[in-house]
Amino acid sequence: MSRGLSLRKGAAGARILGFGDYRPRRIVTNDEISQRVDTTDEWIRTRVGISERRFAGDDESVVDMSVAAAGKALATSGVLAQDIDTVIVATCSAPAPIPGLAPEVAHRLAISAPGAFDLNAACAGFCYGLSAAADAIRSGSARYALVIGAEKLTDWTDQDDRGTCIIFGDGAGAAVVAASDTPGVGPVVWGSDGEKSRAISVAGRSSFMTMDGRAVYRWATTQLADSAHRACELAGVDIGEIDVFVPHQANLRIVDSMLRTMKFKDDVAVARDIVYSGNTSSASIPLALTAMIERGEAKTGDTALLLGFGAGLTYAGQVIICP
Ligand code: UT7
């Protein structure tokens, strides 16, 4: 029989200390898009809920946006860059597969030699990253982690394809996650359905993204409510006690369908950042929540249910306590 190994002793839990975001400078309206493809402002607003989105410029790379969002999250949380020991960049729109972006992001933030890796779970990426960070903190592998969701989806979107170009935008959001005696990141409920992996895909290095929007819409509105309820159950919170609901910002009609299915309280605050940001994949949840915190819609101590879903197909949800 082989001997067992020693393990580190981790913290009782993990807690988010602060969020930050970065929104690219250029605002692109529906009217601007309808000058190029056969669509209308009215169709986009009623079928998807988007009024405008941001497109990143040449000086706004995934790394640039990650650094900006993470710098803001560090400032908001009061944590020093030198204290961060783990950096996770959730993205599905890195310009190249090698190297991963997290080490460069850490270097530009003057974080010294952290564990640093990229994670691709598409639009569920931020929730996967948050879970990885919280579990690393609980197992003792980390004490202060940066979790970033950052996308430059316009690099991978055919601006002549009205099925995708009206939807996707660019941006980044970040959270500082720290060891805590009072857990503020609940257990994740995650999963995937690889049988539908072709529903959203990029065929090769010179290809753009294709999406079977109807299939993803059907899946999102019929398969995810149970996981959201389970995430609440595991965190010991009744769904009727949730103060803030932050689903991935894919389509406002998906958000409204989830609100009809799930039994939230009447005055639950709901993220609707898609109206101004479009669909920013792994950045959408931290972007939306940062804005809600800044507007006072999500307050310190509130319970928030996060629910990411998208390409893969992947999904992940957890309850957090707002910083
Ligand atoms: O974040 C990753 C996860 N992604 C998602 O969750 C996306 C989920 N899916 C969706 O949000 C929606 O399926 C879309 C917004 C992508 C599309 O909306 P839809 O209501 O499902 O449209 P559809 O594909 O069923 O098309 C309905 C009609 C079609 O015309 P006909 O065949 O009925 O004459 C389309 O050709 O709308 C037409 N159409 C458009 N019309 C104007 C499709 N795209 C457009 C457009 N402008 N941009």
Instruction: Report the distance separating Cα 59 and Cα 16, nearest Å.
Output: 29
> What pLDDT does residue 237 have?
98
**Position 8, amino acid:** R
Residue from 127, 165, 229, 248 carrying the catalytic annotation: 248
pLDDT at residue number 64: 98
- Among 36, 47, 218, which is best to mutate for testing ligand 1, by the most ligand atoms less than 8 A from CB? 47
Gap from CA of 132 to ligand 1 centroid (Å): 34
Instruction: Confirm or reject: Cβ of 272 under 6 Å from ligand 1.
Output: no
User: What's the whole-model pTM score?
Assistant: 0.97
Q: How far apart are CA 136 and CA 87, in angstroms?
A: 11
Range(s) of the chain covered by CATH 3.40.47.10? 13-180, 189-321
Partners of 88 in the β-ladder: 117, 147
For helices 225-235 and 213-223, the axis angle rounded to 10 degrees is: 40
Q: How far apart are the first and last CA of the chain?
A: 47
H-helix segments, the chain: 30-34, 41-47, 62-77, 102-108, 125-139, 213-223, 225-235, 252-261, 274-277, 284-294
pLDDT of residue 251: 98
For the record, the structure tokens of 249 come out as: 């910002």
What span, in angstroms and rounded, lies between the C-alpha atoms of 225 and 262? 6
Q: How far is CA 80 from CA 63, 131, 184, 317, 321, in A?
A: 19, 22, 20, 28, 21
134-137 own/partner pairs: CB under 8 Å, 24+ apart:
134/13, 134/14, 134/177, 134/185, 134/188, 136/86, 137/10, 137/11, 137/13, 137/14, 137/177, 137/178, 137/179
pLDDT at 2: 86
Query: Which pLDDT value is given to residue 233?
Result: 98
Atom from ligand 1 closest to the CA of residue 39: 47
Phi/psi at 322 (5° precision): -70, 140
166 lines ligand 1 (CB under 6 A): yes
The superfamily in CATH containing domain 13-180 is Thiolase/Chalcone synthase (3.40.47.10)
Instruction: Looking at the structure, give the CATH architecture of the domain made up of residues 189-321.
Output: 3-Layer(aba) Sandwich (3.40)
Determine whether the shortest distance from the Cβ of 220 to ligand 1 is under 6 A: yes
Is 279 catalytic? The answer is yes
List of the chain residues with pLDDT < 70: none
